[in-house]
Amino acid sequence: MEKEKVITAHQLTKKFGAFTAVDNITFDVEKGEIFGFLGANGAGKTTAMRMLCGLLLPTSGQATVAGFDVYKQNEQIKQNIGYMSQKFSLYEDLTVSENIRFYGGIYGLRDEQIKIKTAQLLKQLHLEDQEKTLVRDLPLGWKQKLAFSIAIVHDPAIVFLDEPTGGVDPITRREFWSLIYEASARGITIFVTTHYMDEAEYCNRVSIMVDGRIDALDAPANLMKTYSATSMDEVFLQLARKAVRTGD
């Protein structure tokens, strides 16, 4: 039986004037899959991700996210996805529980649901004593874990993680990945970009973008076989070094 597809993209393209940021990309992501979306700075990852999140209209091609069309149903897409990036995720001058309440509200949860979710989430993250702490006073690792948990507070079909884990110690980074595994086991699809190549190896499948195209897409083990490499780092370097484009 074919698995349910949470993302489908067919010849998806975005041009800015004469510049083709995303060049004819085609791929599917299955329900519950952890999908790594890799590429050097400037390869077109962010543009592709913005189209899939319903924030940017494609120039041509088709795509659906959680069953909704990226051209016509971008409002429904926004309601059915979660998003987290390291650059922006939580409000620093709101407390832990205020952030949960705020995002719960934004994602359309009812008051009683928010109450239940808040209790669950605080317990899961061992933050019961920190409920009234301003987010700015939390250590970076806790912020990242909280931001991820809040991004899936409405049980979305899919969550987009844009470089979620920079700068934390190796134990905290792994605790974060445990949360990702748990969410995936619950059926939430994970779409993640990262500069850590060992994290790429945690993904079920990864795609590697070069100059706006997807030049490789497979399970990490298969990619290593195809490129006769011993790590994803080597695979990435082989592909990304072919890039003509430079910069962000």
Partner 1 sequence: MKAVVVENVIKTYKTKKDVVEALKGVSFSVDKGEIFGIIGPDGAGKTSLFRILTTVLLADSGSASVDGFDVVKDYKQIRHRIGYMPGKFSLYQDLSVQENLEFFATIFDTTIAENYDLVKEIYQQIEPFKDRKAGQLSGGMKQKLALCCALIHKPSVLFLDEPTTGVDAVSRKEFWEMLHKLKLQGITILVSTAYMDEAGLCDRVALIQKGQLLSVDTTKGVISQFKKPLWAVKASEMFRLMNAIKDDPLVESCYPFGQYHHVVFKTGSDNKTHLEQLAKQGNFKDFEVQAIEPDIEDCFMALMKE
Q: Interface residues with partner 1 (CB under 8 A)?
A: 39-42, 137, 139-141, 163, 166-172, 174, 177-178, 181-182, 184-185, 195-198, 201-202, 220-221, 231-233, 236-237, 240-241, 243, 246-248
Smallest distance, partner 1 to C-beta of residue 120, A: 19
Sign of CA dihedral 47, 52, 58, 61: positive
- Minimum Å gap between C-beta 67 and partner 1 is 26
Minimum CB separation of residue 178 from partner 1 in Å reads 8
Q: Rounded to whole angstroms, how far apart are CA atoms 192 and 229?
A: 22
Could you count the other beta carbons within 10 Å of the beta carbon of residue 50?
18
The CB-of-205 to partner 1 minimum distance in angstroms stands at 13
Nearer to partner 1, 30 or 69 (CB): 30
| Whether the Cβ atoms of residue 240 and residue 40 lie closer than 8 Å to each other | yes
Instruction: Find the largest Cα–Cα distance for the chain.
Output: 54
Residue 27: C-alpha distances to residues 35, 37, 61, 135, 217 (Å) = 11, 11, 12, 37, 8
Q: Which is nearer to partner 1, 26 or 133 (CB)?
A: 133
**For residue 231, what are its two tokens?**
């790590």
Closer to partner 1 by CB, 39 or 156: give it.
Answer: 39
- Compute how many other C-beta atoms are within 10 angstroms of the C-beta atom of residue 18: 5
How far, in Å, CA of 119 to CA of 99, rounded? 13
**148 or 202: CB nearest partner 1:** 202
Three-class SS of residue 48? helix
Task: Name the minimum Å distance from CB 248 to partner 1.
Answer: 4
Query: Which two three-digit tokens encode residue 29?
Result: 């992501």
Is the Cβ of residue 191 or residue 236 nearer to partner 1 in the bound state?
A: 236
Nearer to partner 1, 53 or 197 (CB): 197
Cβ of residue 167: shortest distance to partner 1, in angstroms? 4
First to last CA, the chain: 41
